[in-house]
Amino acid sequence: MNGRADFREPNAEVPRPIPHIGPDYIPTEEERRVFAECNDESFWFRSVPLAATSMLITQGLISKGILSSHPKYGSIPKLIFACIMGYFAGKLSYVKTCQEKFKNLENSPLGEALRSGQGRRSSPPGHYYQKSKYDSNVSGQSFVTSSAADNIEMLPHYEPIPFSSSMNESAPTGITDHIVQGRNFS
């Protein structure tokens, strides 16, 4: 023995460290297969149907006169825009499904990172998080609410500025004009 006590159980499984997934990460062969599968499925099962549907709806709206067609190019620009939006909406709608596929992979560093929550983005610097004052803990028969003062981080204090959306000059706006009185420009 080296003088240090070993407090681990003899048959305890040592947790593996969560791998760092950064821009220099090289996916495994199985992860590449899932990437290709997700790309193919998101295209054929989400992007193509949504792009086609959005183009049909757009053409229908143009035919009914709800949307106007371009004098020179006709309905083509609006149809292209609808197709592009449908394509990206289809790709975005498949993200959760692909994440689940990666989470189900065994021996995958990327799947392990997603399972552990490393894939979640943290708040940007300077972003304040405030819990709702209605958050509560319910356990058994007791109902406990925490006070809002305990949940609020120190937020900067800003004074509200009076605002008037009226164009009337007599309405208070909270803005003062600094006009030098008594100065004659003639």
What is the pLDDT at residue 36? 97
43 contacts 88 by C-beta, under 8 angstroms: no
DSSP state of 74: B
What is the pLDDT at residue 181? 60
Q: Which residues of the chain have pLDDT under 70?
A: 1-19, 118-186
What is the pLDDT at residue 63? 96
DSSP per position, 117-166: TTTSPPPPTT------TT-EEEETTEEEE--HHHH---PPP---------
Residues with Cβ < 8 Å from 103, sequence gap 6 or more? 111, 114, 115
What is the pLDDT at residue 117? 81
Is the pTM higher than 0.85? The answer reads no
User: From CA 143, how far away is CA 131, in angstroms rounded?
Assistant: 18
Q: What is the pLDDT of residues 96-109, one digit of tens each?
A: 999 999 999 998 99
Token duo for residue 179 = 């006009």
What is the pLDDT at residue 140? 42
